[in-house]
Amino acid sequence: MATPEKAAAVAEIAEDFRSSTAAVLTEYRGLSVSQLTELRRTLGDGARYAVVKNTLTKIAAEQAGVTGLDDLFVGPTAVAFVSGDPVEAAKGLRDFAKANPALVVKGGIVEGKAMSADEIRKLADLESREILLAKLAGAMKGSLAGAVGLFAAPLSQVARLAEALREQRASEAPAAEPAAEPAEATAE
């Protein structure tokens, strides 16, 4: 039978799963409390890093409708619940794991899709959503500027182009050869 404390913990974790855009499961064995505090600061305001009990988290994930994580609830587990950009959180975890090899990314869920540790690493290699949107907007702006320039060309340029094409065709056409005059027979 579940105690009220465990039921409250399960309800809180289930709500974290429901309200997060991503959840990344990690193994933190070998990290000190100060390193975990540093990791929480690294993740920033868009993520909450919580050390969790596997059995309670598994129950909470089921209650939240999250599937595909059951195999990851082995060993000491902590979850980064991401409410902001999942790419930024994945980068924070990747960078922290480079400096602190004791942190191991097990896998996670991003926008309802279960992801392996390798997929989380690939996610970390992407540029942030804001940068990708800015690049897309810049590309679209460049294309639109070119189209506007084309449509706004003065008519005089069009006229000059038409005249140049006419002259080019005229110079390429074979010139008509003058007809040879018949030689007059002279009578002597």
| pTM exceeds 0.95 for this model | no
Spatial distance between the Cα atoms of 94 and 84, rounded to a whole number of angstroms: 17
Please report the pLDDT score of residue 1 as a whole number.
42
Nearest alpha carbon to residue 81 among 102, 51, 56:
51
Which residues of the chain form beta strands (DSSP E)?
22-27, 47-52, 77-82, 104-110, 113-116
- What is the DSSP-derived secondary structure letter of residue 114? E
Domain positions in the chain are 4-126, 131-170
Q: What is the mean pLDDT for each group of 10 consecutive residues in the chain (188 residues)? A: 82 89 89 89 85 89 86 88 85 88 88 85 73 74 65 67 86 63 54
Residues across the chain = 188
What are 81's strand-pairing partners? 23, 48
Please report the pLDDT score of residue 170 as a whole number.
87
Please report the pLDDT score of residue 184 as a whole number.
55
- What is the DSSP-derived secondary structure letter of residue 126? S
Please report the pLDDT score of residue 155 as a whole number.
59
Contact partners, residue 47, CB within 8 Å, separation at least 6: 80, 81, 82, 83, 84, 89, 92
Q: Tokens 């970390």 belong to which residue?
A: 124
Token couple for 92: 């924070």
Domain at 4-126, CATH homologous superfamily: Ribosomal protein L10, N-terminal RNA-binding domain (3.30.70.1730)
Pairing state between β 22-27 and 113-116:
unpaired
